Each structure stands twice: as structure tokens, then as C-alpha cells.
Amino acid sequence: MKSLIKTFFLAAVLSTSFIFISCEEFENLEINVPFSIELTRQGIHPDDYERDTVCLDTESSTFQEYMNDFESLTFVEAALRVKEVIPTNMTGDIYLWVVSSTGDTLISESVLNVRPADYMNTPYVLPLSAQEIQLINNYLALIQQNQVQPCFEGILQTQNIPGWDINKKIVFSIDIVIQGEVNL
């Protein structure tokens, strides 16, 4: 009987200690805020620029929900994805830029001699330099402090696409993920 009581007591002490060890209080919550800038290249001029702007305070429900609670915002990743390409065997050069609402170029990338269809299933993760990441994080700090509009402009140009005509089309998406920290 004593052995049964000792076993029960030991089990109770161990399970209680596991409960207290694993019940840490959450102080901060990290929230991913993904957004996309969609750009379509179609028309008779193969070297034209396409541009569009995304403002997080009006176009991202996640950002809208937490925008007054963010303690910090940091860059996570950016990628180029192709959503549609006609014809699928098209090749050429892709130039893209992401610009802040203050006019600063945050990202500048050239992807040369590529087949855009290759990025339909597997996006091209943009290999950003430490300087580009720091520029983005500095801009995100200004957004978090409500000093600038939370907008990003995507600019895209294609070049060296043989036989470009009105029937060719590429729909690109610049996908960006930032992370916000919220105190609970």
C-alpha cells in the first residue's frame, strides 16, 4: 500500500511540475503579413514598364487588424512568381523594382535569360543583399511609427523576348512577407 501511495505521489508531483514548466506566459505574438503586387505584361511594346502599388492599410486584412498594435515590423522574404504565361516556352529578361512610398528603391533585381514558366510552380526567391534588407527594415520602422504611408510600388520590365506581339502575355506577382510583433 505504501508503495502505491509513493507511486501516486511521485506521479502527481511530476505531472504538476510538467504543467508549470510548459505553461509560460505569452508576452509577444509574431504575425506574418504577406502581400502581393501583381503586374501583367501584354501589348505590342516588349520593353514597356508595368507598375502597380499596394497599400497595406487598405489591401491587407492582417495588417489592418494589427496596424495600431505592432511593436516592430521586419522583412522576411520576397519572391517573384509567374501566375500565367502565353506561350509557355517564352524566354527573356526580367527586371523588377520595389519602391517605397517615399520614392526609395528597396529592391532591384535582374533575372536574365529565363523561361518565365519555370516560376509558375516554384517562385524565384529574390536574393537580397544585406543593404536591401536594411533599407526595407528601415522603411518598415517608419511605417510602424506612422511616419509614412504603408505602400509599396512594384515596377517590372521585360526585355529580349523574341517575337513579342499582342498575343504574348505574362502575369507576374511580387510576393513579399513581413513579420510584425505585437505585445499581448
pTM (predicted TM-score): 0.83
pLDDT exceeds cutoff 80 at 155? yes
d(CA 129, CA 21): 41
Up-side HSE of residue 44: CA atoms within 13 Å toward CB? Answer: 0
pLDDT at 10: 43
Catalogue all structural domains in the chain, each as residue range(s) with its CATH number. Answer: 28-183 (2.60.120)
Q: Give the residue-averaged pLDDT of 117-126.
A: 96
- The single residue listed with the C-alpha cell 507576374 is 172
Cα separations in angstroms, 21 against 5, 10, 29, 100, 141: 24, 16, 20, 45, 35
d(CA 74, CA 30): 10
